Amino acid sequence: MRVEPPITNDTARFQVCAQRQRKVPVLEPGQEQLFRSLWCLDIPIVVEGLHHTMQGSWSPEAIVRTHGAQTVTMFKSGGKASEKLSVARFFREFTKTDADRGYAVKLKDWPPSTSFERDFKQNYNAFMQSVPMPSYARDNGVRNLIAHYAVPPHPFKSLKPDVGPKVYIATPDTPREGSTRLHIDVTCAVNILAWCASEDPNLPAAEWLVFEPKDLEELRRYLRSKQNPDEPPRDPIHSQQIYVTEAMAAELHTRGIRPYQITQRLGDAVFIPAGAAHQVSNVQACIKVACDFLSVEGVVESAKVSADFRREKMPEVLPFETVLWDAWSSLACHAEHMEGRPRSVALTRAQRKNKRQRETPRAQEDYGRRKQLRRASSDTTAMTGYRCPATDCTARHRRFPTLVGVFTHM
Q: What is the CA radius of gyration of the chain?
A: 24
207-224 confidence digits (pLDDT tens): 999 999 999 999 999 999
The confidence score (pLDDT) of residue 180 equals 95
50-68 confidence digits (pLDDT tens): 999 898 889 999 999 999 9
The confidence score (pLDDT) of residue 382 equals 39
The confidence score (pLDDT) of residue 377 equals 60
- The more confidently predicted of residues 8 and 405 is 8
The confidence score (pLDDT) of residue 398 equals 46
Is the link from the previous residue into 161 a cis peptide, with omega within 30 of 0? Answer: no
**For the residues 21-30, what does the mean pLDDT come to?**
94
Domains located in the chain, CATH noted: 11-328 (2.60.120.650), 340-408 (no CATH)
Q: What angle do CA 120, 188, 45 make, to 5 degrees?
A: 100
Contacts of 247 (CB under 8 A, 6+ apart): none
The confidence score (pLDDT) of residue 410 equals 42
Q: Predicted confidence band at 402 (pLDDT cuts at 50, 70, 90)?
A: very low
> pTM here?
0.80
**For the residues 229-240, what does the mean pLDDT come to?**
85
Q: Whole-number mean pLDDT of the chain? A: 85
Distance spanning both ends of the chain, measured CA to CA:
27
204 close to 188: Cβ distance less than 8 angstroms: no
Query: Is residue 394 predicted with pLDDT exceeding 70?
Result: no
Query: Is residue 106 predicted with pLDDT exceeding 80?
Result: yes
| DSSP code per residue over 206-217 | EEEEE--GGGHH
Q: SS3 of 47, please?
A: strand
107-138 confidence digits (pLDDT tens): 998 887 667 888 888 999 999 999 999 999 99
The confidence score (pLDDT) of residue 378 equals 52
Query: Is residue 297 predicted with pLDDT exceeding 80?
Result: yes
Query: Is residue 4 predicted with pLDDT exceeding 70?
Result: no
- The more confidently predicted of residues 93 and 10 is 93
Query: Is residue 96 predicted with pLDDT exceeding 70?
Result: yes
Share of the chain above pLDDT 90, in %: 57
The confidence score (pLDDT) of residue 384 equals 39
Task: Choose from 141-145, 190-194, 374-378 the range with maximum mean pLDDT.
Answer: 190-194
Helix, strand, coil share (%) of the chain residues, nearest 5:
40, 20, 45
273 close to 281: Cβ distance less than 8 angstroms: no
